[in-house]
Amino acid sequence: MAPLVLKLKENTLLNTKLCVTAQHREMLDQVLHFFKLTADYDLDLMQKNQSLNKLASRILDAVDDVLLDFNPDVVLVHGDTTTSSMAALAAFHRNIKVAHVEAGLRTYNKHAPFPEEINRQLTARLADYHFAPTIGAIENLIKNEGVRSENVYNTGNTVIDALLLGLQNINQQKDQIVKLKKYLVPNKRTILVTGHRRENFGDNFISLCKALNTLANREDVQIVFPVHLNPKIKDIAYDHLKANENIYLSEPLDYEAFIWIMNECHFIITDSGGIQEEAPTLKKPVLVTRDLTERMEAVDLRVVKLTGSAYDSIVKNSVALLENKEFYNQMVSSFNPYGDGKTSEKIINILMKE
């Protein structure tokens, strides 16, 4: 949302306030700093090991106070977080219009991704303006869910705006980037790995770790794995991977350092949604350790491949990307279905017209 917020605040005809819940404090603060943003309302709701129900109830209550104080004409929420669905519900209860950025992505399986799929569907039921990133997302909303077509807009996704803006402002001397440079061996190919989805906790994540150890035993490979802070990920990752010298387990990377290593790597193994959208712009193949994705456009273009969490599937497809140039080149596209970097402008033009 950063590039959209920046452009909204530049517009003298609009009075824009930025509210953050701090659902993830560490990840939030570095992004605000990188994009030179200051929150007008910082709800600071992060608590260690809080349940989804506790978080949802606290967001609903705290956002209501913000709405009473500011009384906006429209509330913009993004994507599929608990913050988005609860902020949308709070606005609805106050009869304030809701605009959903990154609307319409679906798996239609309420457990994958969990709880994000239902967060998206709840937000869609509450939204007045649906800013959809792709034609497929538009079809989900109009054809499958009966949203009125005049309320749905094909805008692309602001994540591409953020990526392109971020790449222009990378500081090569940033501590995390300097550390990465010291680790990386020039004649080895780098596999970037992330993992954090709740549906992959437990055996699925252990399976990924076993696959990474197998891949890291190759002399031509090095793996960079910024490890999520959740103990259900962090503890298993360090138990299974810390002894392998070809695997660099790092602290969670700031957005700036992450897009730098994403641009440097050979390919990516992830269960993230956003990376599936960013990587095509950087021409990086992505193996997704999920059975379902709400971003099928990238799969259809063959720039993203669903491997699931099975050991054999992850290793087989990774080896193919390392050894089969034709397979690798098929997964590199000159086209990104999720946007051209101008989504923020499109959204603001629509809001001004409405």
Tell me whether residue 162 is in a domain: no
Q: Name the percent of the chain lying above pLDDT 90.
A: 83
102 and 216 part of one domain: no
The domain tally of the chain equals 2
326 pLDDT exceeds 90? yes
CA distance 83 to 112: 18
More confident residue, 307 or 26: 307
Reading the block at residue 347, the tokens are: 């959204």
Query: Which position among 100, 111, 196, 240 bears the catalytic label?
Result: 196
Tell me whether residue 181 is in a domain: yes
317 and 215 part of one domain: yes
> Could you please report the per-residue DSSP string of 155-208?
---HHHHHHHHHHHT--TT-HHHHHHHHH--TTSEEEEE----GGGTTHHHHHH
210 pLDDT exceeds 90? yes
Tell me whether residue 87 is in a domain: yes
Q: How many CA atoms lie within 13 A of 41 on its CB side?
A: 18
Which CATH number fits the domain that encloses residue 267? 3.40.50.2000
pLDDT of residue 198: 67
87 and 178 part of one domain: no
pLDDT of residue 26: 80
206 and 270 part of one domain: yes
139 and 178 part of one domain: no
Phi-psi region of 202 (alpha: psi -120 to 50; beta: other; left: phi over 0): left
CA distance 166 to 150: 33
Q: Is residue 93 annotated as part of the catalytic site, yes or no?
A: no
Q: Which residue from 266, 256, 113, 272 is spatially nearest to 195, judged by alpha carbons?
A: 272
Average pLDDT score over the chain: 94
120 pLDDT exceeds 90? yes
49 and 82 part of one domain: yes
Instruction: Express each pLDDT in 78-90 by its tens digit.
Output: 999 999 999 999 9
User: Mean pLDDT lowest for which of 146-155, 159-168, 191-200?
Assistant: 191-200
202 pLDDT exceeds 80? no
141 and 177 part of one domain: no
pLDDT of residue 200: 65
Tell me whether residue 16 is in a domain: yes
More confident residue, 195 or 96: 96
Tell me whether residue 344 is in a domain: yes
| Residue 91 CB-density burial (10 A; 0-12 exposed, 13-18 middle, 19+ buried) | buried
346 and 217 part of one domain: no
269 and 287 part of one domain: yes
For 315, other C-beta atoms within 10 Å of its C-beta total 16
What is the mean pLDDT of the segment spanning 102-131? 96
pLDDT of residue 246: 95
128 and 180 part of one domain: no
* Residues in a beta bridge with 20: 42
What is the mean pLDDT of the segment spanning 157-186? 94
Report which residue type is found at 114: F
Tell me whether residue 163 is in a domain: no
pLDDT of residue 14: 95
343 and 269 part of one domain: no
Instruction: Express each pLDDT in 217-257 by its tens digit.
Output: 999 999 999 998 777 788 889 999 999 999 999 999 999 99
pLDDT of residue 168: 93
Tell me whether residue 101 is in a domain: yes
Reading the block at residue 55, the tokens are: 């978080």
Tell me whether residue 165 is in a domain: no
Domain range for 284: 172-330
What is the mean pLDDT of the segment spanning 326-334? 89
197 and 291 part of one domain: yes
